Structure 1
Amino acid sequence: MSNHETGAATDARTPPVAVWQILEKLKGQELLDWRLAEVKDRASIEERNLDIGIPFGWYPVLLSSELAAGEVKPLRYFSKDLAIWRGEDGKVRMLDAYCKHLGAHMGHGGKVHGNLLECPFHAWRYDGDEAVVKDVPYARNIPPQVKRKCTRNWHITEANRWIWAWYHPQDVAPLFDVAVLPEASDPEWTDFEIHEWNVWGSLQNMAENGVDVAHFRFIHGTANVPLGELRWGDWGRGADVKAKMGTPLGEVDGCISYDTMGPGQSWTRFTGISETLLVACLAPVELDHVHVRFCFTQPKAQAEGERAGVAKAIIRDICKQFDQDKVVWDRQKFEPNPIICDGDGPIPQFRKYYARYYADQDAA
């Protein structure tokens, strides 16, 4: 009888993939450092077929609390250098970073002048709403080329304690809104507990993970997870997965309900053992680099009560599963013509749906 037939191939002493071998050695600060460190020996974007563009949508770029009134910060997302600031009126604005005068990066050393962004080099002052130069303090006349729109100004909104930027390669106005999650601002729920990763891969591969049921056994060491009741909307999708969950007090009815709105906003509600909301914030830095922040909030009565240990354990387990997926994503290529088995889940259906987020509709 073969090893496959006896089950020896899946013996706990034989890790099915490199995931276990890598992560079992990482603890504490070493694990946190690994989550953010660059994977330097990865193949090129072209070799991995990751040059399919960035899907359009709303993406989280900063926590609202990270940008005070009168503050300017540099950002790098969407393969672009950006300058973001909060005016004296409290409104957040963002422009492409480089001044049209002599190319200074306005996110480094730029100032807020009222509600305008002032370049650190020669104090040219940009209006973030109109994307024009409003003032050149040392000149009698503003050059006509910059009195009309001369740079890209970004659509910005704030929701769920985050600043969101709308990305579209053709600068098309937003086609849908950021979903507002009431728990994120509920005083009866905890402040966000945030965990952070750099994934050296693409949003496309990461998104497909949710419908790839076969990987749960081999990457996460669990039985195949049911897809639940799938929902396919115009711009968002989701599912409700109902399951029996074991607790010290016996089995309880639990539910994992996840939703997305575009490629950059995903949230999951866990009920049953300990109520938890995960706001998964994903933003592409480059074609092969996604910045990920998981924001967890729980009812204070549970997170700070006698079952606080259970609440913490749920967060640890979710992060552990993301670590396991990251090992694969960091070197995964995009396979445009995958060979699919009958137990893989609805990957072709998902790809057809996800293609709507690419401006040319032919990327995925």
Structure 2
Amino acid sequence: MGCVSVATATPAREPAERIEAAGERSLSPFPEGWYFVASRDSIRKAKLLQKTWMGQDIVAWCDDTDRVCVAVAICPHLGSNLGPGAGGQVRDGRIVCPFHGFEFDVSGQCVATPFAEPPRTAQLRVFPTREVLGMIFAWWGLDGRPPQWSLPEDPPTGADWSELGFRTLRFPGHPQETTENVVDLAHLRYVHGYGNVDRVEPVTVDGACLTSRFNFRRTRTIAGFVESVFDVSATAYILGLGYSLVQIREHTIGMDARLWVLATPVDGIHIDMVLVGQIREIRRPKRPIVGLGFLPVSLRGRIMNQIILSAQKQDVLQDIVIWQRKRYRSTPALCRSDGEIGMFRRYCRQFYSDQGTSALHSGRRSAGDQPRDRGA
């Protein structure tokens, strides 16, 4: 998959940083972009899903034609919360306020009330949505402005690709600092013990899309007892700070995989990091044991997907130890091995603005605030 051609976004209207007492700057907690809400399956299962997203209390539901709506969970009538905890429900594809029974369709418009004609001004604040392989993303536009770029179309898929697997962790952090890892190849060697980490070609930027290609070798233990070296080529496509897709080719097995790394601000301090994995069917593994050649073909991709997601989760847990204790340095003392970190930060400027004021977090996180595994 190539990176979609996108136009450079016009400047956002929230400040990227603020000056702190010590002379450093802290990042604005809600940069503009597309951010993960939930899988379509989880919305269907919940019927009415409620969560904190980008500092907002939101609800998400599907109507009778399976269209998804993501909206602020406050009724414009008299301010009732629309979430299931307050008694909100979905009826005939419409969300129904528990206070006076106002009904809203997936456009956010009030279309019925029990006692009178629906007021035309009764409109939920809804967020533009985009779906990728059953993953629902919503657009966070500063000052409510519309999407400035699009997410890519679904990558090629079919019966030869496994179902998506999910791992979710919540911890104090910021999506810019977590996404910076895609150009910080030195940390792959030092923190995670990767070997032979090499940049294949220079990092490229096309509007809101950054592409990073690199190779590495990694020793892993499979099934708890088989230690093996993996030879990997990776291409990472970054579209804003909430959407990262890594296309992976493992050469010693002959395996193709996809890994999405989706960092979504929760409340201005914490982020939810969702790891989503998918493996292509492994028909003739070059290494039968490591490639699970002793299993039926139908099981190999599914089991390998869980193995890889668990390994990636362990890498993230190693990073979290650092992320949740670090302070953002707006003027870092970089060395030659830091590669494209300066370029990455210039790329990030388009998701903020240098003008205006906003509520910003302090830039310091509690070392005792431990990550929470939130399951699938």
Partner of 1:28: none
Contact 2:67 2:106 in 1 (8 A): no
Q: CA deviation at 1:246?
A: 8.0
Cα distance in 1 for residues equivalent to 2:122 and 2:187 = 48
Partner of 2:47: 71
SS in 2 for 1:286: coil
Q: In the TM superposition, what is the alpha-carbon distance from 1:286 to its structure 2 partner? A: 2.0
| Counterpart in the other structure of 1:3 | none
Equivalent position of 1:153 in the other structure: 126
* Structure ranking higher in helix proportion: 1
What is residue 226 of structure 1 aligned with on the other side? Answer: 198
Alpha-carbon contact 1:69-1:86 (below 8 Å) kept: no
Which of 95, 119, 128 is residue 97 of structure 2 equivalent to? 119
- Structure 1: how far apart are the matches of 2:273 and 2:28? 20
- 1:160: how far off? 1.5
1:316 CA displacement: 3.8
Q: Which residue number in structure 2 is paired with residue 9 of structure 1?
A: none
The corresponding residue for 1:335 is 329
**Equivalent pairs, count:** 312
Q: Please, which of 136, 143, 155 is the counterpart of residue 163 of structure 1?
A: 136
Cα distance change on mapping 1:96 and 1:314 into 2, 3 Å: closer
Contact map agreement 2:102 2:114 (CA 8 A) in 1: yes
State the distance in 2 between where 1:98 and 1:222 align. Answer: 47
1:173 matched to 2:156: no
Residues 323 and 315 from structure 1, CA distance in 2 versus in 1: closer, same or farther, beyond 3 angstroms? same
| Residue 103 of structure 1, CA deviation | 2.2
What does residue 192 of structure 1 align with? 164
- Paired letter, 2:129: I
- 2:97 matched to 1:137? no
Cα deviation, 1:288-320, whole Å, max 9, x if unaligned, reads 211111111112335764385877654443322
Percent same amino acid among aligned pairs? 24
Q: Which amino acid aligns with 2:344?
A: F
Partner SS for 1:319: helix
TM-score calculated relative to the size of structure 2 = 0.73
Q: Give the match's secondary structure for 2:326.
A: coil
1:267 aligns with 2:239: no
Q: Aligned partners of 2:169, 2:188: CA distance in 1, in Å?
A: 20
Contact conserved, 1:50 with 1:288, CA < 8 A, in 2?
A: no
Partner of 1:276: 257
Q: Which amino acid is 2:242 matched to?
A: G
Q: What letter is aligned with 2:112?
A: D
The letter for the 1-side match of 2:294 is E
SS at match of 1:355: helix
Q: For each residue in 1:42-97, what CA deviation from the matched residue of structure 2 results, as whole angstroms up to 9, or x when unmatched?
A: xxxx8995451412111111111112299222121010001111111211112211
Q: Cα offset for 1:111?
A: 2.2
Greater percentage in strand? 2
RMSD: 3.1
Structure 2 residues without counterparts, runs of 5 or longer: 1-19, 221-225, 284-290, 361-376
The equivalent of 1:306 in structure 2 is: 294
Higher RCO (CA 8 Å, separation ≥ 6 residues): 2
- Indicate if the aligned counterparts of 1:70 and 1:112 stay in contact, CA closer than 8 A: no
Q: Which moved more, 1:215-224 or 1:347-356?
A: 215-224
Residue in 2 aligned with 1:213? 185
Question: 1:92 maps to what in 2?
Answer: 68
Change (3 A) 1:252 1:105: closer
